Structure 1
Amino acid sequence: MKRRKFIKNASLTGIGLSVSASVLACDKNTSKTKHLTTVSTTPSLPLVIATWNVPNATAKAWHILENGGSALDAVEQGCMVEEADVNNTSVGKGGLPDRDGHVTLDACIMDKHGNCGSVVCLENITHAVSVARNVMEKTPHVMLAGKGAEQFAYEQGFKKENLLTEASKKAWEDWKIKSEYKPIINIENHDTIGMLAIDKNGDISGACTTSGLAYKMHGRVGDSPIIGSGLYVDNEVGACVATGLGEEVVKTVGSFLVVELMRQGKSPQEACEEAISRIVNKPNSNYKNFQVGYIAVNKQGETGSYAIHQWFSMTKYQNNNNDNIQATFYLKDK
């Protein structure tokens, strides 16, 4: 199935976006598709996994790893591929704007030592993940926000760009006709690019980048730039990254939860499944109307992926194979 259709069967009618061919252009990539094979039985290093069908991004990361590069460099440059793709309307340049027409980006990155950096509500800079790395490496802070993050980016040499493409502007203008706003996942209005890698030394890093919920309230921040929610890395155990409705991931500190479950002995697949169950089994959970998906890897190179609804997938580059793997999911009867 094409990426970003994962909540097709769970959508509400609130936002009603019009999906053009350009929105799904990233599906032109040719990658092999496998179904329900979410756990590696013969792990080998290096490896890289990412949310969704993003073979160009994982290929970039794999090239770095194969040539002896670090997992940190791999996840940053892999995510940059999607940030630069104007046909990807959920990440970087070309991302769908908030309800006021501003494209605001969130991103974070985390290395093998547990160091991390994050930016939230960043405007006018395409490569938010690289700004996040600069926050990690060149400041005493973990997170910079809004104008402060933008000013820091300029000081580091990043160039100002208009991130609102004509296609995204047209989609926003069409949405404004009715301006039906609901802070809930709907068809084609949000997902995240998250990436995890293990290099030849066995060291793990991760990154996550997004333009967030389309037509969100200005200033809204989801899980993606929040360490422990959208991303978490423990080099002794493993790593996890999330996608979907960020508010629900934040409420359960999802990525940290998955890593801690792996620390207790669960496989990446079992940990992802348990983390999803924590969401769907919450009192008064409205899980049938939103999506959350996790991908994870442990120190041994075993991987897992799981979601609430169907159509979530993971791209894995390992053993010279760049495969898109359909995740198993909770609502099998939907």
Structure 2
Amino acid sequence: MERRSFVKLGAVGLAASIVKPSFASEEPISEPSFSHYTGEAKMISTWSHGQDANRAGWLKLEAGGSSLDAVEAGARHTESDVTNRSVGIGGMPDREGHVTLDACIMDWESNCGSVGCLEGIAHPISVAKHIMQNTPHVMLVGAGAKKYALKNKFETIKTPLPEVKKEWEKWKKEQAEIAKKPAINHENHDTIGLLAIDSQGRISGACTTSGWAYKLPGRLGDSPIIGSGLFVDQEVGGAVATGLGESIIRISGSHAVVELMRQGKSPEQACKEIVERLIRKHKDMSGLQCAFIAINTKGEVGGFSVYNGFNYALKTANKDEMIDTPFDRKW
């Protein structure tokens, strides 16, 4: 899924030179208050491997960590899974045999970071977090992202794995010049998305992926795009997307879900309406699976998918379960 670019303006000097105008009618802006939250800490993650990701993130929450710590830890767990073919070290390559990784992360203060087309780095989610916390930028891509990761001593990996390379070599022999459109299903779903709310009511989210198997080199989907693959607004809640990124980008899917929750819709209702909007934007929905999950500031969760077969993992102090989402249509 995709990434972006900045003009260097001398961030420190520029920030110091900006004077905010004063208006008599302007209300003072207060920091978000979390004292009202009386619910329990909670994590939700897309697909069945989200269950293990939740467990890894839950260790952070149990130790007093924040929702940001939790979603990063959960994403890192999946990135390290050599059996997963859509995320991290076990991910499928592009048409030329390169495994390029995308990730983004966002916290309750609307801080966010992202990487795209990052090759040879074990944990793109942590690089995204480092960008968020240590630079004036949101997104770094390609060679620049890798240079940044190496400079900051992030762990490297060699990809594709031997067994993945064999699959790619077989595919290459079988395919014509124009790659066939792969089915988007539980084996090729482009991402893991995670959302967490901690005991203080703070919401964070993360996405990480190796993207569409055998994609054109340089392709980005929705996963690294703030507003498409992930969006968090502490006034409302957060949402993440999974499925065919090109379709999710068209409607700024995760941001749209959050805005519907702002209007008073429940997480499930908001996800359902955005799935229906996505369907209306496409003349042909053959094999086009997309889904959203969301959490609001009350700790309510929900999801919805285009087709049946999508589920998400839920973790609380007393629950560790998979939930099948409602859907618009059957395969």
| Structure 1 and Structure 2 fold alike (TM over 0.5) | yes
Residue 75 of structure 2 is aligned to residue 75 of structure 1: no
Can you list the C-alpha shifts for 1:277-307, whole angstroms capped at 9, x where unaligned?
001112x522232110100000001101111
Q: Structure 1: which 4+ aligned runs deviate by more than 2 Å?
A: 182-191
Distance 2:108 2:216 in 1: 34
**Higher relative contact order, chain-length normalized (CA < 8 Å, sep 6+):** 1
Distance 1:242 1:106 in 2: 14
Can you list the C-alpha shifts for 1:130-184, whole angstroms capped at 9, x where unaligned?
0000110111100000000000001111133212101111111111122251345
Distance 2:278 2:283 in 1: 7
Q: Name the % identity.
A: 51
What is the number of equivalent residue pairs in this alignment? 290
Q: Is the 8 A contact 1:185 1:244 kept in 2?
A: no
Q: Is the 8 A contact 1:308 1:329 kept in 2?
A: yes
1:151-300 residue pairs with structure 2 within 5 A?
Answer: 151-180=147-176, 181-187=179-185, 188-282=187-281, 284-300=282-298
Can you list the C-alpha shifts for 1:89-133, whole angstroms capped at 9, x where unaligned?
110001000000000000000011001000000000010100000
Amino acid at match of 1:329: F
Distance 1:302 1:186 in 2: 28
The Cα of 1:75 is off from its aligned counterpart by 0.1
Residue 53 of structure 2 is aligned to residue 57 of structure 1: yes
Task: State the TM-score, normalizing by the size of structure 2.
Answer: 0.85
Q: Is the 8 A contact 2:39 2:199 kept in 1?
A: no
Distance 2:75 2:67 in 1: 12
Distance 1:182 1:45 in 2: 45
Over the aligned positions, Cα root-mean-square deviation in angstroms equals 1.3
Distance 1:189 1:97 in 2: 12
Q: Is the 8 A contact 1:105 1:120 kept in 2?
A: yes
Distance 1:65 1:93 in 2: 25
Q: Is the 8 A contact 1:269 1:305 kept in 2?
A: yes
Q: Is the 8 A contact 2:184 2:243 kept in 1?
A: no
Q: Is the 8 A contact 2:82 2:90 kept in 1?
A: yes
Can you list the C-alpha shifts for 1:29-48, whole angstroms capped at 9, x where unaligned?
xxxxxxxxxxxxxx931000
Distance 1:53 1:235 in 2: 27
Amino acid at match of 1:270: Q
